[in-house]
A and B are shown apart, each in its own frame.
Chain A
């Protein structure tokens, strides 16, 4: 009797890239739901547009490169990039904003570098940064969160806004959008208001901004589930949240009037989705256990710096990309001590 041969190990495998991606997508659901609850249909449109554009772009480029299309589409990585980008765009952005972002993320940031596993930068964040640099105005089109008094546009209004770019009759874009707490706090802080004065505005909610704190809690929940599922390891989120917490605490203690509290920083903007879903993109992150901790901490500190002194309201995308650049170096200097090697042999 003849048997086929191959190399060990032989046990059936349960792990799979698409399974991993699907779990990340599932974990995004609570955050995505809360985000759309507070910011309306625009979020859903963004997600639909970015995801379909990402999938189409992935298929088109793979076809051009002469690579098999089906397995790559089924691995879920392109869809996930689309989702992550979609979740970071303002809900009232015109339709071409998510299209350009997704195209750039997939075509340039991912496929031009060789496709899945070969991109040095986080594709979704490249897409985001291209947009925020090129179209700063369109990237501020956030509707006010539901329940803040001023109601955001409904389904048809949003549809009209997104696809024609024209605000509903009798209204201007300015009248239906609102700055996010991070943006607002930066402006106000620049006007020499104290944090207590800034936070007295109802749109700042309890600690992280009205609506935003719930969004962040939802992403935190999804992220913890992801960690329990062993789809991500704790190092990067812990490093990032820890870094952000420590640096914000230091400045808060030094001057609580001029600097936001650690709680504000942890629960506003894209902190939680950044910590659990964006910084943890394995392809572009550091990989050694110690390195992942440093990598996360670097992102946390950079986020604080950009938020506090930089030119953009939130700093997740820039912080992640900057640390992407540092990842190979971090990996090089944080090689774990091999079993049986003495400390002095370690560098």
Chain B
């Protein structure tokens, strides 16, 4: 059972990184312009992608469902603005692989007419949690912290779990990213309202908002809102600004001193953790009837003329946001989606903003230079000292390098959260995280291969068994036939012999007509081997006919 600590605990490892958040926090939060054409990917969350329910040429209104969710771990997608579906097809999406995926393309009509989503709920605090969950699910809300896990699933702890603590994650720890801070400063009412709804849905006993202590404005704004509402049951705890304090497991540890079990979930220790952005999205869905069609995105870096935070419609191409922020500077040399520690580099700015896109970072080479060439690992173990998961990164590196996938799992590869601290401090400039990602993919591939071969093996065994069964059945039939022959009285006279011959002929005839009923179906499309086998059987059958025939 998790209880709050008086003073935040210090998790192992981590790094002090220069904040760089101020760059984008200069002005008020502005809505971004809606572009002429929006690309809305069907897959914007962990789990199953959604399935389009509109067709090319359909007119849609803002907030109208355009793709429904398939399965439990999935989220529907709504039209970010009103317009016409101009295409449903493969377009570049934000993904490290740089591959394309199915998107619904909407040509905006510029009117932004709104549809009735039916999400709005009266008397939410008297309603059934299941009802709230269903609306959160229908609103297409996923975790806005970056991972994109469908929120409704996390609002359902199940009957076996009691939620002791609801942790609201406002500890945005990546340098440069300030979208959560902007949200906390500009829309504290949405956040607190969303938290109250979540608290009700989860029957959470305690609620805490964890915010890095280098965001005094955010803490202040939320505190004022709590005071205004006279809400005493929601606590704000500043946590030391040390990357990765915003990692779910690290934040929970800082607040409670308890470790989320390795390979486990926060609910295993009675905790549920949601991002502040998710809380605000829930409030907007339940109170205003808005499905998740926009999010706050930080557009920042020295490669951007006017860094700022924008309220962006999902599907807006990054190029359009860059343009609204004054465009690239002459020395812009790198484009990232996400922060410099865990984000990924984009080849170009044609990809759209999706539900999990928190930051667009255009940087010059001074901010994000090319890394020096890697040199051999000298086992200095500085990576071990900074690893927040208490792993041995240099050992993992050796095993990944040697492709020893068994050993690397012994060293708990899958506890790695890919925060990048180890690579950041490595004096040999080894891209450690890349090795871990490689090893993870290799292991997943191996597992898929094994599953595939297991399936093939099972299929093969089933086939052998079937053949065996058929053979046995045939033999039994033959044995029965022989027995019935033996039972026939052996009569010496010619009449008897004649009648016996006649009976045998009749049997053969009957068998022939019977087989002619079946044969055409069974002997269709035979392979040469099968044909040979059948011929053999036929031969044996004819040779096993009664003696005198």
Residues in chain A within 8 A of chain B (CB atoms): 1-13, 15-17, 19-20, 71, 75, 77, 115-118, 230, 233, 282-283, 285, 287-289, 292, 331, 335-342, 345
Option from B371, B389, B427 in Cβ contact (under 8 Å) with A19: B427
CB pair A9 B341 closer than 8 Å: yes
Instruction: Give me the interface of B with A, judged by CB distance under 8 Å.
Output: 11-12, 17, 98, 175, 249, 253, 259-264, 328, 332-336, 340-349, 363, 366-373, 375-382, 384-385, 388-392, 394-395, 411-412, 415, 418, 420, 423-429, 431, 433-434, 437
Residue in B closest to A12 when the chains form the complex, CB atoms: B369
- With most chain B CB atoms within 10 A of its CB, the pick from A2, A282, A338 is A338
What's the dominant secondary structure at chain B's contact region?
A: loop
Please state if B382 and A15 are interface contacts (CB–CB under 8 Å): yes
Please tell me if the beta carbons of A282 and B341 are within 8 angstroms of each other in the complex: no
Chain A residues touching B, majority SS: loop
Chain B residue nearest to A342 (CB atoms) is B261
Q: In whole Å, how far is B434's beta carbon from the nearest beta carbon of chain A?
A: 4
Does A2 contact B347, Cβ atoms closer than 8 Å?
yes
Give the top 3 A-B pairs by smallest Cβ distance, nearest first.
Answer: A117-B376, A9-B420, A340-B262
Q: Are A8 and B340 in contact (CB under 8 A)?
A: yes
Q: Which residue of A lies closest to B422 (CB)?
A: A9
The smallest beta-carbon distance between B350 and chain A, in angstroms, is: 10
Give the A-B contact count at a CB cut-off of 8 A.
167
Partner of A338, one of B372, B382, B412, B434: B412
User: Using Cβ atoms and an 8 Å threshold, which residues of chain A touch B428?
Assistant: 17, 117
A4 and B341 contact, CB distance less than 8 A: no
Once the chains are docked, how many angstroms separate the CA of A155 from the CA of B366? 50
The residues of A that contact B382 with a CB separation of less than 8 Å are 15, 230
Known contacts A10-B336, A340-B249; is-contact A283 B378 (Cβ 8 Å): yes
Q: Looking at the complex, which one of A15, A233, A339 makes contact with B388 (CB distance below 8 Å)?
A: A339
11 contacts between A and B (CB under 8 A): A7-B433, A9-B341, A11-B424, A13-B372, A16-B429, A75-B375, A116-B375, A117-B379, A117-B428, A287-B384, A339-B11
State whether A339 and B348 are in contact (beta carbons under 8 Å apart), knowing that A10-B336, A11-B340, A288-B392 are contacts in the complex.
Answer: no
Q: Are the CB atoms of B384 and A289 closer together than 8 Å?
A: yes
How far is the CB of B317 from the nearest CB of chain A, in Å? 13
| Contact (Cβ within 8 A) B427 A16 | yes
The CA of A289 and the CA of B386, in the complex, are separated in Å by 12
On whether A20 and B427 interact (CB within 8 A), knowing A8-B340, A11-B17, the answer reads: yes
Interchain CB contact under 8 A, A339 and B334: no
Known: A17-B375, A233-B381, A338-B390. A5 touches B346 (CB 8 A): yes
Q: Is B389 in contact with A339, judged by CB distance below 8 angstroms? A: yes
Instruction: Let me know if B392 and A116 touch, CB within 8 A.
Output: no
Instruction: Establish whether residues A71 and B375, one from each chain, have CB atoms under 8 Å apart when the complex forms.
Output: yes
The docked-state distance in angstroms from the alpha carbon of A337 to that of B387 is 12
Known: A5-B345, A5-B347, A8-B341. Contact between A336 and B390, CB under 8 A?
Answer: yes
Partner of B392, one of A17, A118, A287: A287
Given contacts A71-B373, A283-B378, 11 further A-B contacts (CB under 8 A): A1-B348, A6-B345, A6-B370, A8-B433, A15-B427, A16-B429, A282-B381, A339-B11, A339-B390, A340-B249, A341-B261
Q: A13-B424, A15-B382, A117-B379 are in contact. Are A1 and B367 (CB under 8 A)?
A: no
Smallest beta-carbon distance A167→chain B, Å: 42
CA distance A266 to B363 in the complex (A): 52
